[in-house]
Amino acid sequence: MNTATVTVLRNDQTPTPSGLVWEEPPTKTGQPGKYAGVAAALQERPGQWAFVRAYPTYKKAGGFAGAVRTGKLIDFRSGGFECRVVTVDGQARVYIRFQPVAEAVSS
């Protein structure tokens, strides 16, 4: 891979870049992650909650739930996923459901 070098001039002039390659970055592959099956199953039963994972601490469960909500996990990036963390018998359990986003109706 070529790297650009920059020469900074001492008299506050604009640096002169050399070796720049102007091109669009490659597109992402969009390969499914390890939760593709979970996301698909939730989308088949919209509005219904499913127990997905248990963690020993509420903080760890909250981290996973946050990754689902914000789309950090590729399989949940389509949006519409809602999470709850509930402590049951000393475990922090993550429940997720798919709520389809209502499409705007034009009149």
User: What CATH number does the domain containing 93 carry?
Assistant: 3.30.1370
pLDDT tens per residue across span 15-71: 667 778 888 888 776 678 899 999 999 999 999 999 999 999 999 999 999 999 998
What pLDDT score does 49 carry?
Answer: 97
Q: Is the pLDDT of residue 85 over 60?
A: yes
Q: Where are the alpha helices (DSSP H) in the chain?
A: 36-44, 58-69
Distance CA 32, CA 24 (A): 23
Q: Regarding predicted confidence, which is higher, 8 or 82?
A: 82
Domain that holds residue 75: 34-107
- pLDDT (mean) for 70-96: 94
What pLDDT score does 21 carry?
Answer: 82
- Any domain includes 15: no
- Any domain includes 17: no
pTM for the full model? 0.67
Are 39 and 81 a contacting pair, CB within 8 Å?
A: yes
Point out which residues pair with 82 in neighbouring strands.
97
Q: Is the pLDDT of residue 97 over 80?
A: yes
